[in-house]
Chain A
């Protein structure tokens, strides 16, 4: 039992901290917002050179062999700097699904291309609403002429704008429509239509429409009859990683608020001289600490996949705890900045929006509270 970070983990954190401090100031953030892809390709190349794109992949496939704790460190620091690079889409979702479900050949060609930064991915899964859960997929795929035909529509696809390949979930009709499969769809395949927009707080988001898209036989990821459990596992791990990212964003908002209340004078004294403000800051600080602790805890426990229920409890628990803490810190940060807090002149608004994105992704706080309560209630002692 030891919760102190290892030396390697400390080094990892320092190198990310340095990179974020150098590359993610306010001006850079505003430039990234204007970039057509929502981020800077130079940064992505540096991510590859620094080994971050291979962080969670096994050493056998050329990865760094890190686990969720290392990913959490990376995400927390990227969150602090509000990075918009498609790390979630390409590495934590797309790459993880390929590592989880892909054939040896698919892994052998795709993972190295992901790790060296050449190939970007998107995960096209949701169709209606995250509240419907991960199984609500109606996009269909037919087996035809030694290949596949894909038809359907996906919403809220992160980073589809820059993706070379979309990882698309669809139902196989020959199994009474129950079985879910994943397909690798090149961005320029005929019949793929992309409608995209800026994403709240930075990055891009899209709708993807697939109209009778013809795909080769090897476009199917692996052969397993049902990929839903794999998707659930990957999304649970992504939720834990996003929790760490949110904790980093919260910390940045808190630091800015603490600094501001020390220098903003009203009634002849700094705001932070008032007890009501001091106590608010103490509560915000506690929420930041708790979010970080919960993210670290989730990272330590989520790697253990022997038990899907335990894994889901960890992911949903992290979402609830960190989601609530994030909401409190974000709202109070704006409040304590006064009218400045609701202007676009500060970066606070970017953070506020990105924390809204955290809340909305993969199911709301209430969705996960109910999921947790159902699983936790079932484990009640008798």
Chain B
């Protein structure tokens, strides 16, 4: 058991650091920090993704054969840690971490050949069509229907909470292709071109002022049969595989460490009248730090298991639950740290390109919208209540 990096791992870390120093501009870092949503706007991400793509580092988790770097679990951890530490923009996970792994595992050769390179290059931008107005936590009750007509499916229905549908040119969606006694059995996994006739997008504004999510309507939208992933009626299995990636496949603690470091910096500056000197702030920061250390250790344990080829078990729900709570605690103390400056409501976006000087400094300004957006963290990707159900069932055997 050891927490220290091996000489090889240290060499790799230095290589990543050198790359970041050479390719991540201060403007990118600033824009990324002031991007207060969970997902970064494409124009913030584009230059960074281009540099990563040239180096072959866009998708840390992908194997060589699909254009990934073929890294070990430890290398992935180091890479994610260094990127987070440097405040690099976060690439959209929807292609790289969600639909990409599903296609690698269940897609046809043609689908892999066509879609995977376009995810890496950034040519394709994906969005996720899972939730519906009547199907949130009870996802399997979804009603958007795909009916086979000749060489096509015809899709009707609506999806909601679709992050970045307004930027995406493709959607992976769960749709109902048949009615079965067990509703999970009638669901299929479909790839939909967002430029198809019959698709309309309604923006949904968040309490922070951000526009991240949308409702998407399908009105007789035609989708070629070739866009079905795997077998018809097996979509639920693929979708669950993807959700496990969404919850635990990634590493959260490096990003959270960076976020905590940023609020501590704020707490130790004139911008917050040195809020850190107040005991109630200092003890809260300690409590968060301890939760974060624990989360990091748990994530590293998963990594060690993966590294040895062991199955880490159904811990992804625990990691998702705790990471979301730690994130919310960081954004909450961030608001406390800025004090009465929290009274300013700034809903213009993007924050890094406001056309006039805001009333209060931008680092302070971003605390409230970040906190407001943070409330979604315990709701999306399976709410905390759903995660507890999963832990009770899968971990405790209840």
Of B62-70, B242-250, B304-312, B364-372, which stretch is located at the interface?
B304-312
Grouping DSSP codes into helix (H, G, I), strand (E, B) and loop, the B interface class, with mixed when no group exceeds half, is helix
Find out whether the CB atom of A3 lies under 8 angstroms from the CB atom of B300: yes
Q: Decide: A289 and B268 in contact? CB cutoff 8 A.
A: no
Contact B396 A281 (CB under 8 A): yes
The contact of B9 among A1, A317, A382, by CB within 8 Å, is: A1
A282 touches B391 (CB 8 A): yes
B297-A293 in contact (CB<8A): yes
- Given A286-B318, A296-B297, A377-B276: A370 in contact with B283 (beta carbons within 8 A): yes
- B contact residues around A286 at 8 Å (CB): 318, 321-322, 391
Tell me the minimal C-beta distance from A258 to chain B in angstroms.
Answer: 6
Q: Tell yes or no: A381 within 8 A of B by CB.
A: yes
Q: Which residues of A contact B261 (CB under 8 A)?
A: 381
- Which residue of chain A has its CB nearest to the CB of B305? A4
Whether A197 is near chain B, meaning CB under 8 Å from some CB there, is no
Supposing A3-B300, A282-B391 touch, asked if A382 and B268 sit within 8 A by C-beta, the answer is yes
Smallest CB separation, A265 vs chain B (Å): 14
CB-CB under 8 A for A282 and B2, given A289-B298, A381-B261: no
Q: How far is the CA of A236 from the CA of B264 in the complex (A)?
A: 26
* Interface assignment of B138: CB less than 8 Å from any CB of chain A: no
A228 on interface, CB distance cutoff 8 Å: no
Give the chain A neighbours of B219 by CB distance below 8 A.
none
In Å, the complex CA distance between A321 and B297 comes to: 13
Please provide the chain B residues from 100 to 136 with a CB less than 8 Å away from any CB of chain A in the complex.
Answer: none
> Is A300 located at the chain interface by the 8 A CB criterion?
yes
Within 8 A of B (CB), among A195-217: none
Q: Does B388 make an interface contact (CB < 8 A)?
A: yes
Contact residues in A for B392 (Cβ distance below 8 Å): 272, 278-279, 281-282
Let me know if A2 is at the binding interface, CB within 8 A: yes
**B286 CB to nearest chain A CB (Å):** 4
Whether the pair A1, B282 counts as a contact (CB closer than 8 A) is: no
Q: How far is the CB of B259 from chain A (nearest CB, A)?
A: 13
Residues of A in contact with B, size category: 35 or more
Tell me which of B9, B294, B396 has the highest count of chain A C-beta atoms within 10 A of its own C-beta: B294
Q: Is the CB of B279 within 8 A of A373?
A: yes
Give A293-308 as 1s and 0s: 1 = Cβ < 8 Å from B's Cβ atoms. 1101100110000000
Q: Are B304 and A300 closer than 8 Å at their CB atoms?
A: no
Nearest residue (CB) in B for A294 is B294
Out of A293, A300, A376, which one reaches B289, CB within 8 Å? Answer: A376
Residue in B closest to A300 when the chains form the complex, CB atoms: B3
Complex interface: chain A residues within 8 A of B307 (CB): 2
Assess the A381–B265 pair: CB atoms within 8 A.
Answer: yes
A window 1-43: CB within 8 A of B: 1-6, 9
In the complex, chain B residues whose CB is within 8 Å of the CB of A377: 276-277, 282, 285-286
Distance from B150 Cβ to chain A, minimum over Cβ atoms (Å): 46
Any B CB within 8 A of the CB of A372: yes
Highest count of chain A CB atoms <10 Å: which of B286, B304, B322, B388:
B286
Q: Which of A1, A297, A380 contacts B293 (CB 8 A)?
A: A297
Task: Determine if B398 is an interface residue (Cβ-Cβ < 8 Å).
Answer: yes
Nearest residue, chain A, Cβ from B393: A278
| A347 located at the interface, meaning its Cβ lies under 8 Å from any Cβ of chain B in the complex | no
CB of B111, distance to nearest CB on chain A (Å): 35
Q: Across the interface, do B385 and A279 meet the contact criterion of CB distance under 8 Å? A: yes
Does residue A336 face the partner (Cβ distance < 8 Å to B)? Answer: no
Contact across chains for A381 and B264 when beta carbons are under 8 A apart: yes
Known A297-B297, A373-B285; contact A321-B290, beta-carbon cutoff 8 A? yes
Closest 6 CB pairs of A and B: A278-B392, A373-B282, A282-B391, A282-B388, A380-B268, A3-B304
A-B contact pairs, 22 of them (CB 8 A): A1-B3, A2-B2, A5-B1, A6-B1, A262-B398, A281-B396, A282-B389, A286-B322, A286-B391, A293-B301, A294-B293, A296-B1, A300-B2, A300-B3, A369-B286, A369-B287, A372-B290, A373-B283, A377-B282, A377-B286, A380-B265, A382-B269
Q: B interface vs A, CB < 8 Å?
A: 1-6, 9, 74, 77, 261, 264-265, 267-269, 276-277, 279, 282-283, 285-287, 289-291, 293-294, 297-298, 300-301, 303-305, 307-308, 310, 318, 321-322, 385, 387-389, 391-392, 395-396, 398
Given A1-B74, A317-B286, A377-B286, 7 more pairs with CB closer than 8 A: A3-B304, A272-B392, A290-B322, A293-B294, A317-B293, A321-B293, A374-B282
Using a CB–CB cutoff of 8 Å, the interface residues on chain A facing chain B are: 1-6, 9, 69, 258, 262, 272, 275, 278-279, 281-283, 285-286, 289-290, 293-294, 296-297, 300-301, 317, 320-321, 369-370, 372-374, 376-377, 380-382
